[in-house]
Structure 1
Amino acid sequence: MIEWLGIEHLFELSRTEAIWGFFTPLIIYAVFFVVQLMLPGRWVPGYVVNPETGEPRNYRLNGMLVFLIAIVVWALELTGLPHDWFYRSSVYAVAGGTVFSIIFTLIAVFTQPEGKVKKWFLAWWFGRAQEISFFNERIDVKMYMYVVGGTMLSLNALSGAVYHYELFGENANPGVILYAAFFTFYIMDYMVFERVQLYTYDLIHENVGFKLIWGCLVVYGWLFILPLWGMAAHPNPEFSPAWTNFWLIGASALFLFGWSISRGANLQKYTFKRWPDRKFLGLIAPKYIQAGERRILCSGLWGVARHLNYMGEGFLALSIALIFGYFTNFWAWTYFIFIVSLFMYRQWDDDRHCAEKYGAEKWAEYRERVKYRIVPGIY
């Protein structure tokens, strides 16, 4: 079965190495917790309101510093681990990370007061508390998990690229190298705009349950590189020079196109929430529907589709599928399938939350004004 899937190279660790691989996530989680706690950070207010004070919650951000230190430590092999360790141990790390996520969830959920969700499994899955923090809010659990997951996504992608290059040398697939570069750029961009995350779906709507904990620590950090599980074992597809240029440049352009839509939409929403009357990029004047004390943005990118940022993520995921050059290989498409499935569900859930937040009548008015959900003219 493993050979049929083409991932037998991920099961070549010795028993001792497999055990270390299983516990690698736990060590990573602990080290990141200490590093984030000890390193300096900037305090900023977020969008979520603290019910005890009626004021926006404060968050301490130092993701970029943590990310850069982690990259340097990995690049210089300061831990003694080889560059390809994270990739070679990824199957065992996913198993270990899942077990530890289950344990963390039990602690995070059942130490909190019982909320609206009475069934224990649903409470465990979705969580009870919207926010959990430690050490006088120096560590916010959600932002901590995003830094861990994002940094490990980059390190896992880079680790896989090293494994691939050492395996094939001059016959290495340039698409695998670009794949690692894509995700490293993607995470660095996230760290640059870390504060924008405070105004997004997860921070506003999600509670701290298994869905979020496992999603951030394991899915985001390790399983987002699922395409590489299969594709790192494939050499350069050896297209003609002309087709190679078209393939690599085209996939890279598609990645940048998707990223620009997603980042642009999120930045416009962030700008509107912080400065409601400011023009986005100094060009796009905000237009909105007044819903009591709230406003629904319906101009610029948010006047084209209600979740245009999800379309950007979809194009970005499509570029990931194409960058390997093996267009019919299932592994290449795993990330794309996951992202499309995730955002199809999320746009439905987000619409439900928004109808509750703004009122059914005002949300219906917005839907009438902005007719398309994700893809303008299509859906």
Structure 2
Amino acid sequence: MTEKFNFDLTSTDGMARTGVIHTPKGDIRTPAFMPVGTAATVKAMMPESVAATGADILLGNTYHLMLRPTAERIDRLGGLHKFMNWSKPILTDSGGFQVMSLAGLRKLTEKGVTFKSHIDGSRHELTPERSMEIQKLLGSDIVMCFDECPALPADRDRIAKSMRLSMRWAQRSKDAFGDRPGYALFGIQQGGLEQDFRQESAEALREIGFDGYAIGGLAVGEGQEAMFNTLDFATDMLPTDKPRYLMGVGKPDDIVGAVARGVDMMDCVLPSRSGRTGQVFTRNGVVNIKNARHQDDPRPLDENCSCPACQNYSRAYLHHVFRSNEMISGMLLTWHNLQYYQDLMQGMRDAIAAGQFKAFEADFHAKRAQGDIEPL
């Protein structure tokens, strides 16, 4: 185990990269997908089950945890790792995105954001300094800068103003983070879909200096084509010797497209949320377990998958427990989806190391285009 935080880039294939992020809590193989444990749990999963899928790192949520059970309480109970029984690295977001998307009646100033809790209506203030304090109390290994993320579409003036505010907050985040060996602080590039603003943001972040760099403000409703067009130039603006993290992405084809454009890390609630609503990701595309075609089907969801849902249960059973609103349905389907995502990451890491990423990408799209196995 290392005592420091550093990143080794081991192979590249085109823009795609594979490597290892070394942290005192363990190594993170990249490209990495981070399951989202919003309220100190990946919904419907035990932490040891999440680890069994191959996840090296989880994401926790500053906004949700500061409101309940509070960062101070988690700190008193030994920090987030101990609290939720996860010994590997944890990345926490800064709370900025949730304040934008969840908090009603928020007031934005140069200092920070005041908002009302979605739980009980109590008033709170989140500033770069407070966000750093909360994330330190949680004990997160990778801390995100506090930023403002405007919803797209927005006009250029709004995007520029927001991005420049985020860059001033990035400097304040860095100042408040201080010197913490073994812990990392990531800056967040903003600028919407605008190339000149993304460049200005990247230069400001490089000037401040961070342990890793995130691409923020995408996957907020702009559509895949616009996101990929932006990644075509945005990723390249960030240092090549530091991890690059695309926030809040995404669907399997979003992830493969992002890795093809030089992204090293991503996170999304999709595998767990979809598992609870009967949407299953497989090598042959998305399967809806609700559909009647599965009710007499003795076959597994995916015969090549090692998860318990595929190894031990039939489509007919998974259809039945979903239809019956049984708790095991969300547990099994979430496990499967997280396993699928981690298998996808491992496949990409192997392909990049072998110089076969283009072939991997073509095969990925071809299999999905075939669709699910024929009904019986």
Question: In which range does the TM-score fall when normalised by the shorter chain?
Answer: under 0.3
TM-score (ref. length: structure 1): 0.26
Identify the structure with the greater strand proportion: 2
Larger Rg: 1
TM-score, normalised relative to structure 2: 0.26
